[in-house]
């Protein structure tokens, strides 16, 4: 099936060859941008961007990405639109579809993005929900390919809070043939429904997927160590959860327990010296700013293919 006209909400809905196509397009667009070659594939097109939560990378990379593709993006916040005064997601989706060629949204409940997609007549892109963060994982896989030369057969260990980012890692990395270990405290195991779907994917693609409750066990033989904030947007800080998660901090000792040339990743924003130490963030294994840059290239590829 072609990617044109499809929404990009959940990596589970995509096949390996489709994610491959997005990654190949992203590498190509990155090369073109570096060489200064024009690639105005979306001339005259507009992207509506709804942000129910804060953002630095997602907002800037989508906006700059649309400009580089010859199009234009509009930042819409609840307080600056009628969404904040009770206009429904469904009506908003229908109206935006009459002006724009695609809608990108960052929401709280995953149902909100599903509701947008249900009512929109243009493709909808998930710019993060409480459940998933698929655009992030496309940028991450682009980064892993650049540093490791491929994806299939590598092991990624996500260590820390099992959240929207680790949920999308379990799906995207598994589809691309990577072995995935989630290292998290027993009390904070991954979402059950997502785990079930990811297990289905790991059977289909013949990869290894597991949850380890010991961080050192999790990173054994890892080619990639990944972490994210202990408290995602919308969650209250909680002393007990922090105490449970501190042993899963990505520090030098943990990095040293993985493969020698392991790369350390974080989707950012980081809470330095909480889930990741300065030593690792700024150290030789870190690729966190390459990841941030690659949001731009991966999302340009998604936009160019689905719009
Ligand atoms: N990683 C990420 O999505 O960053 P922002 O919250 O800054 O968009
Ligand atoms: N898990 C984090 C990711 C931020 C990009 C959050 O949802 O806040």
**Interval between CA 269 and ligand 1 midpoint (Å):** 6
Judge contact between 125 and 102, C-beta under 8 A.
yes
Q: Which pTM value belongs to this model?
A: 0.98
Q: What is the pLDDT of residue 306?
A: 98
| In the chain, domain spans | 11-133+295-306, 136-292
- From the first residue on, what is the mean pLDDT of each consecutive set of 10 residues in the chain (307 residues)? 94 98 98 97 98 98 98 96 96 98 98 98 98 99 98 98 98 98 96 97 98 98 98 97 98 98 98 98 98 98 98
DSSP string, 146-211: HHHS--TT-EEEEES---HHHHHHHHHHHHTT-EEEEE--GGGPPPHHHHHHHHHHHHHTT--EEE
Check if 11-133+295-306 and 136-292 are the same fold: yes
Among 19, 16, 17, which residue's Cα sits nearest to residue 8? 19
Domain 136-292 has CATH 3.40.50.1370: yes
User: If you classify domain 11-133+295-306 with CATH, what class do you get?
Assistant: alpha beta
Q: What is the pLDDT of residue 63?
A: 98
Tell the residue nearest (CA) to atom 1 of ligand 2: 232
Q: Which ligand is nearest to the CA of 129?
A: 2
Question: How many whole angstroms separate alpha carbon 305 and alpha carbon 21?
Answer: 9
Please choose from 50, 128, 291 the residue to mutate so as to test ligand 1's pocket, defined by most ligand atoms within 8 A of CB. Answer: 128
Judge contact between 159 and 254, C-beta under 8 A.
yes
């Amino acid at each position: 099936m072609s990617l044109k006209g499809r929404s990009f909400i959940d990596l589970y809905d995509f096949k390996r060859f489709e994610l491959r196509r997005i990654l190949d397009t992203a590498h190509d667009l990155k090369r073109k941008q570096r060489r200064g070659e024009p690639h105005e594939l979306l001339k005259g097109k507009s992207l509506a961007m709804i942000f129910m939560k804060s953002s630095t990378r997602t907002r800037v990379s989508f906006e700059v990405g649309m400009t580089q593709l010859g199009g234009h993006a509009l930042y819409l916040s609840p307080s600056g639109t009628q969404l904040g005064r009770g206009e429904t997601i469904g009506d908003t989706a229908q109206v935006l579809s009459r002006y724009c060629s695609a809608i990108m949204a960052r929401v709280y409940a995953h149902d909100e993005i599903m509701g947008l997609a249900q009512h929109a007549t243009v493709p909808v892109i998930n710019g993060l929900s409480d459940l998933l963060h698929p655009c992030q994982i496309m940028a991450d896989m682009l980064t892993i390919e650049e540093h490791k030369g491929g994806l299939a057969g590598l092991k990624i260990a996500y260590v820390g809070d099992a959240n929207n980012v680790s949920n999308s890692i379990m799906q995207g990395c598994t589809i691309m043939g990577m072995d995935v270990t989630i290292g998290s405290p027993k009390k904070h195991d991954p979402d059950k429904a997502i785990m079930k779907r990811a297990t289905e994917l790991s059977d289909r693609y013949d990869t290894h997927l597991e949850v380890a409750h010991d961080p050192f066990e999790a990173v054994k033989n890892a080619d990639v160590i990944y972490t994210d904030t202990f408290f995602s947007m919308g969650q209250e800080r909680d002393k007990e959860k922090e105490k449970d998660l501190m042993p899963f901090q990505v520090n030098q000792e943990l990095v040293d327990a993985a493969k020698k040339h392991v790369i350390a990743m974080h989707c950012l924003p980081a809470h330095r010296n909480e889930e990741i130490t300065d030593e690792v963030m700024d150290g030789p294994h870190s690729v966190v700013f390459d990841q941030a840059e690659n949001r731009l290239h991966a999302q340009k590829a998604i936009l160019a293919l689905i719009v």
